[in-house]
Structure 1
Amino acid sequence: MTERTERTERLAVLDRPREARRTAPRVTPLALPAGLLRTARPRQWVKNVLVVAAPAAAGELFSRHALHQVTLVFALFTAAASAVYLVNDARDADADRAHPVKRNRPVAAGHVPVPVAYAVGGALAVLAPAAAAILCNPATAALLTAYVAMQLAYCVSLKHVLVVDLVVVTTGFLMRAMIGGLALDIPLSRWFLITTGFGALFMVSAKRYSEAVQMAGKDGATRALLTEYTTGYLRFVWQLAAGVAVLAYCLWAMEEGGVARSSLLPWRQLSVVAFLLAVLRYAVFADRGTAGEPEDVVLRDRALAVIGLVWIAMYGLAVADW
């Protein structure tokens, strides 16, 4: 080996740490808190607005006590959901590093150490139900505990079980809609539970269907179960769920005693039109395979947003006159 070759190798060895420093993620004092916040999925917190569903349906949303409790429950449910996201990303860190998109998640990218994600997630999973028991009531704490346990089981194994994965995610949405009523001791009607449950199943199965359509013929599905579901089956599920949700809502609107005597118009019955239009409009995106993220569909489609506002106005008038 010549002297020049030896010198070149020595320089290469000395340069390796410098190159490693150049490619390593930049660490700043705010990197860890920012990474934890990103892992908590702030964009997904919009789903927790469902906590207002039961109080709004009962017409008891706008008292000072109700607003305080709903705000508190929203924060507690957000903490519980964030705990699940943190544990999920810590558990899937190795797999996420091999994914073209998920490798940018803070845990997979190394911005948040795996032990830290587990520790913060575990702390939130314990503190959220405990705070609910102190600040709300035992029923709220029990539901939050059940939600955390169910979602952690989903992260570990249930997401790999056909059909059960759909049921677990749907139940998570239903729990969001129920918890506001439990916190305020509001009885939950059978029509509210049926409409909300099957409406959630409609959106969840439409999302899975859209993912399956987009991944058809491609390798590396983002969800392992997408290779086991068929698009025909997922289409059947979202169509069935949509039909049951509409039927339950119609039965609620048309049931005996549902006509308000003080109202000039039957808002309760008229709200069926807006509800049906909303479901049909959302089904357009489901059928195209572009309903991957429910919040994106609702917020980005202007027509669906307008229909939603009209429905909220009609439903509000119906509840006010009830």
Structure 2
Amino acid sequence: MTEAAPMTNGTRSAGTAAPAQGAPAPDTALRERRPPRPRPPERPRRRSLLGGLVRTARPKQWIKNILVVAAPAAAGRLFSPPALAELAVVFALFTACAAAVYLINDARDADADRAHPTKRHRPVAAGQVPVPAAYAVGGTLAVLAPAAAAWLTSPSVAALLTAYLGMQLAYCVSLKHVLVVDLAVVTTGFLMRAMAGGLALGIPLSRWFLITTGFGALFMVSAKRYSEAVQMAGKGGATRALLTEYTTGYLRFVWQLAAGVAVLAYCLWALEEGGDPHTGLLPWRQLSMVAFILAVLRYAVFADRGTAGEPEEVVLRDRALAVIGLVWLAMYGLAVADW
């Protein structure tokens, strides 16, 4: 009897039908018969125009306008209802003016901002807010804010607000390209905010208040410029061409000088005649010097590292600096209450 030849690797066993040529494999056919899974709805790639306009107005930087309460707080006239109402109006007007400036500035700098690693995400540079819309809204606010100031506030406040808006718009157009003048304009903007509250309530502004506020603002502004120069070193100053004209050594000199003058002026205020250390349980006016100096020294750490960006972000990011600031505010408030 002859034995059957064994099956080779290329021969199928009996009962196993080979699939027809060109027919899909069983698992493939099963997948083809299944209905396709519904795709999740795509999220809109672009946010709303209104949201982009609000982002362009920089809500995080509205905290700078709290400086309008500086002079009334220093004079101990902050917590009366009429004063709070007047200061709220001044705060809102400065916010509207600042928003107008930011909108117009971002519209002008849209092309340059697209070359920046972080500014390219701004709504105007990213295309979320069209350039004509930014100009239109910014121009409208620039017209309405001074008109409202003339109607709702004193003539001196309206004049100050108009001067602030004109100076900031001039900065957007040309002054930000002029050495040293750009630092002076931004610093003056901070000083005007601090003066506005005093003018609104008819409070005389002391020389120590003006010197400390002015040079304290110059310290933060020049520290920010220094940080930008350090971070953009070797990149050609793509979005702030003036940074290529400054040297880091010069900017370091400016923020160190400003910090020294601000500390000196504050100490002279705290130690001047008329500040009786025995009017309260403790000499809060003199003790507040310690907290003020510590705050300046702590802020200078970030300036020296080249990480002192927006002042409000520096304060909120560093817990120790925030605590020192609160301690200083408490001591300053107690000093004012003892007068």
TM-score, length-scaled by structure 2: 0.84
Task: Write the letter of the residue equivalent to 2:295.
Answer: A
The residue number in structure 2 matching 1:112 is 129
Q: What percent identity do the matched residue pairs reach? A: 84
Task: Write the letter of the residue equivalent to 1:200.
Answer: A
1:282 aligns to 2:284 (yes or no): no
* Partner of residue 263 from structure 1, selected from 269, 275, 280: 280
1:57 aligns to 2:56 (yes or no): no
Unaligned runs of 5+ in 1: 1-24
CA distance in 2, matches of 1:100, 1:215: 10
1:35 aligns to 2:52 (yes or no): yes
Alignment of 1:18-167 (within 5 A): 26=45, 31-167=48-184
1:243 aligns to 2:280 (yes or no): no
Task: Write the letter of the residue equivalent to 1:158.
Answer: L
- The secondary structure found in structure 2 opposite 1:99 is coil
Task: Write the letter of the residue equivalent to 1:122.
Answer: G
Change (3 A) 1:195 1:290: same
Whose radius of gyration is greater, 1 or 2?
Answer: 2
Offset of residue 102 of structure 1: 2.5
Change (3 A) 1:79 1:107: same
Offset of residue 101 of structure 1: 2.9
CA distance in 1, matches of 2:227, 2:258: 16
1:68-118 residue CA offsets vs partner (Å, 9 max, x unmatched): 111111111000000000111111223323434323222222222222211
* Partner of residue 229 from structure 2, selected from 203, 206, 212: 212
Moved over 6 A (4+): none
Task: Write the letter of the residue equivalent to 1:124.
Answer: L
* Partner of residue 203 from structure 1, selected from 220, 225, 240: 220
1:287-318 residue CA offsets vs partner (Å, 9 max, x unmatched): 11111221111111111111111110110011
Asked whether the 8 Å contact 2:263–2:293 carries over to 1, the reply is yes
The residue number in structure 2 matching 1:305 is 322
Asked whether the 8 Å contact 2:194–2:213 carries over to 1, the reply is yes
Offset of residue 148 of structure 1: 0.6
* Partner of residue 186 from structure 2, selected from 163, 169, 183: 169
1:182 aligns to 2:191 (yes or no): no
Asked whether the 8 Å contact 1:150–1:168 carries over to 2, the reply is yes
Offset of residue 48 of structure 1: 1.0
Select the structure that is richer in helix: 1
Asked whether the 8 Å contact 2:236–2:244 carries over to 1, the reply is no
Asked whether the 8 Å contact 1:260–1:321 carries over to 2, the reply is no
Task: Write the letter of the residue equivalent to 1:228.
Answer: E
CA distance in 2, matches of 1:234, 1:132: 36
1:49-70 residue CA offsets vs partner (Å, 9 max, x unmatched): 1111111111100000111111
TM-score, length-scaled by structure 1: 0.88
CA distance in 2, matches of 1:47, 1:208: 17
Asked whether the 8 Å contact 2:115–2:239 carries over to 1, the reply is no
1:135-173 residue CA offsets vs partner (Å, 9 max, x unmatched): 111111111101110000000000000000000000011
CA distance in 1, matches of 2:215, 2:112: 32
CA distance in 2, matches of 1:143, 1:156: 20
Task: Write the letter of the residue equivalent to 2:96.
Answer: A
CA distance in 2, matches of 1:229, 1:174: 23
Unaligned runs of 5+ in 2: 1-43
- The secondary structure found in structure 1 opposite 2:258 is helix
CA distance in 1, matches of 2:316, 2:115: 31
Task: Write the letter of the residue equivalent to 1:201.
Answer: L
